[in-house]
Each structure stands twice: as C-alpha cells, then as structure tokens.
Structure 1
Amino acid sequence: MDYLHPKLDDAAIARMSSLALAHVGDAVYEVMVRTWLACGGMQTARNLHRHTVALVRASAQAEAAQRILPLLDGEEQDVYRHGRNAKPKSVPRSSSVAEYAQATALEALFGWLYLKQRYGRINELFGVIAEGFQ
C-alpha cells in the first residue's frame, strides 16, 4: 500500500468514522500549514513552530472553517456536518466545545478530501483559508 497516496474505494472511505477522517485530516491540515509557513519565508524553527501552533489550534481551525463553509458542495457539507457532530472523548481546555466541533469538522473534511484524492480541492479550500492568515 502507498501510505502517502492511499487508494481506497468509496465504500472503504464511507465506513470510516468522522473521527478517523479527522485523524487523517489533522495531519493533512498541519502539513499544509507548515508548508505555507516554510515557503512564506519563516526561517527559524522557533518561529515556524510558534506560528504553526497558532494556526492549527482549534480556535484558528474554527475560524478557517467559517471562511470555507459557503464554498462547500452538498457532499462536502455532509462530511463537515458529520465531523461537527462527532463526539470526541475530550475537548482541550484551550477551546470551547463549539470551536472543537468546528475544528474536528474541518479536519474530517480535509481527511475525506485527501482519501478521495481530491488534492486540487484541498489546495483550493486551503488557499481561501490561507488568505485569512496574518
């Protein structure tokens, strides 16, 4: 199996829980943020890490989700909604339940798009999100 570019059929992806999709999407989103920062001229590891943490925390992901929600098609909205309604066992103290739900939904969407090999769509949505970065 090619773990960098997994090829799963639609049925296999549909069997995955929203939290499993979010688990994958968390990594996809963080790689994109790290790449955006590194390519944007951040040179020190300390600056890269500090900015990465700020952009991937639940509150920042909740804001990012709000920027792309109007752009989602019906299928993407379904994935987002299921991710938002997932019931994680715990919520970090640094975020509200609502922020964490939106962050999980965003991660589930990115995980789903990645597993569906819709890389162009991931880049399109991330581009909209990155426009809002400071």
Structure 2
Amino acid sequence: MVMSELPFRCGMEAVVNLIGGKWKILILFHLRDGKLRFSVLRRLVGQVSEKMLSQQLKELVEDGLLRRIDHKTVPPHVEYELTAFGINFCRSLQAVCEWGAANMDKVTAIAEARTVRQNAKATLPRA
C-alpha cells in the first residue's frame, strides 16, 4: 500500500496523536532526568490510577518514546527511561515548561474559574 499523503495536516496534530491525553506528557517530563521505577512515577505523576499509568507506559514503550528495563528479580524491579526519540521530544517541551512556570498564576486562576463555572452549571435547576 502506497500512501500519497501524510496522515497529519500539521506537526502539532502528529504530536497530539503520539502523546495526547492527560498523563503521557507528565510521564515524559518526570523521566527527563533519568530512569524511574513504576512506583516513583506513580507518586510523581499524581492522581493517575495504577491501571492508567501502566497503560500509558505500555503505549509510550510501544511508540518508541520509552524503554522498559526489567531486571528479572523477585520482587519485580522494573524501570523506565527515555529512548533517544523520547529525549529528543522532551527537549522540545522545555519552552512549553518554561511558559507554564512563568504563567502558573494565570493558569491557576483560569483553572479555578473553570471549576467555579462547572460547579455553578451543576447546581442549576433542570427545566
């Protein structure tokens, strides 16, 4: 089968397809400085369930962004680290991370206002 067109209309669409969702970008962010065990990643990422973290890690490994290192011990000792592809991607996130840090107060205010609006909608009487 010969493809005459790329499957994405722009680079951002390709990125969203690869790392879309709430947890993948945080997983990659936390692995930027080196290998981490599953339990450490779970604590760092936050409110992610064990099942969801496991699924997201599996997809990141399948997509070539992470490497899973199984030390074949009992109890199990498994670590995750970025591949060269993942390291290259994480370098491109640095500017986004810096923007987030510089604008954290504004982003927090926006998130709080969104929560207030959603709570107000939830308490409105239904017609």
Assess same fold via TM > 0.5. Answer: no
Q: Which structure's residues are more often helix, by fraction?
A: 1
Q: Relative contact order, CA 8 A, sep 6+: which one is greater?
A: 1
TM-score normalised to structure 2 length:
0.29
TM-score normalised to structure 1 length:
0.28
